[in-house]
A = this chain, B = another copy of it.
């Protein structure tokens, strides 16, 4: 809601207090002093992205937790894989759409824009991946990720067989499962703590 907009029926004012500048969640957990590794990592974020993602500030109250989160996140999203970086971001957004996770839709919608150069694709996946013009491989991958999210107990051999038929190796299937699983974690941590995305994400890649 535009805070500068003056009153009348078009104004929806804020009833929740504006959090202080550095409040990245609803929890009072200020960042601890960063160790050398974390400092270097945050510096790299500023160089590459222009800012430090709030999820890292959220974990920064505890050095070991921050380190473990970065290690898993970077391994899943950036390490060599049969899945492209765009594909991993598409999984992130599809899972977050099912879970209605504000932080992750904003941050990884930006990720889809970054790797695809296509803001329309990002906005379509946020809404409903079924409405996007996807090839068979991508569609099979996102069907699997959606089902893992909303009905994990029902995933069985035929679901894996569909991925194999679409060209995914068993190692690729692991990666689809691991990325979809990871965002089912981060979506919930973000929702449970009211994690707020950096302002910069909204315009990134547009």
Binding site for B on A (CB under 8 A): 1-2, 5, 8-16, 18, 26-29, 61, 64-65, 67-69, 71-72, 75, 79, 82-87, 90, 96-97, 99-103, 105-106, 109, 115-121, 123-124, 126-128, 130-139, 144, 148-149, 152-157, 159-160, 170-171, 173-174, 176-178, 180-182, 184-189, 191-194, 199, 202-203, 206
* Identical copies in the complex: 6
Distance to closest chain B CB from A112 (angstroms): 9
- Partner pick for A100 among B123, B128, B149, CB 8 A cutoff: B128
In the bound complex, do residue A12 and residue B87 qualify as a contact, i.e. CB atoms below 8 Å apart?
yes
Which residues from chain B contact A27 at a C-beta distance below 8 Å? 160, 170-171, 173-174
Inter-chain CA distance A144–B102, complex, in Å, is: 19
- Partner pick for A191 among B64, B68, B155, B199, CB 8 A cutoff: B155
